[in-house]
Amino acid sequence: MKKIGILIALLGAGLGIYATINPMAVTEIVMKIGPENLHYYIIGFTLFILVISFGPMVNNLMKNVKTAKLLAKRGQKTKAKILNIQDTGISVNNAYYIKITVETTPGVKAEIQGLYSRINIPRVGDMIDILFDPGNPSIAGLDSTKKIQ
């Protein structure tokens, strides 16, 4: 995601520099497109940038919703041992949004994400309540009955 943002920034900077150095080239492009059709290109380019920027985030959100529905239907509650904790850099209302790698069943790892209070952040080795899919133990999520730990 960061690479796409850097690429878009570099492309924009390059186009800006090119337009500054050679303003007649920009005028020629606009004249070829036709001033009356220019807004279609601007709208198309804007939509393209939005899809590139927010597409992966929407895809991840839909995947999380699908996982939550699956776990609500057939998830089993258990305690899982935390193997690793990763900061996402996101916080919501004084709570950290973190990624946690847990061991759902012996030898099977799953990555879950959730909000944790700044004063009650779990540590590696702690046991937390999760839901996991008995058919595929690598699919897991935080126990929905416990919102913020």
How far, in Å, CA of 10 to CA of 12, rounded? 5
**pLDDT reading at 49 higher than 50:** yes
Instruction: Reply yes or no on whether the pLDDT at 108 is more than 50.
Output: yes
Average pLDDT for the chain: 82
Q: How confident is the model at residue 148 (pLDDT cuts 50, 70, 90)?
A: very low
Start-to-end Cα distance in the chain: 29
Helices within 22-148 (DSSP H only)? 23-33, 38-74
Q: What b/e readout covers 63-84, taking b as 16+ CB neighbours within 10 angstroms?
A: eeeebeebbeeebeebebebee
Of 19, 17, 21, 46, nearest to 30 (Cα)?
19
Q: What is the DSSP letter of 140?
A: E
- What pLDDT is attached to residue 41? 80
Global pTM? 0.57
75: left (phi over 0), alpha (psi -120 to 50) or beta: beta
Q: Alpha-carbon dihedral of residues 109, 113, 117, 120, nearest 10 degrees?
A: 0
Whether residue 145 is predicted with pLDDT greater than 70 in this model: the reply is: no
Is it the case that residue 101 has pLDDT exceeding 60? yes
pLDDT of residue 85: 92
Give the residues across from 113 on adjacent strands.
99
Among 26, 137, 19, which residue's Cα sits nearest to residue 76?
137
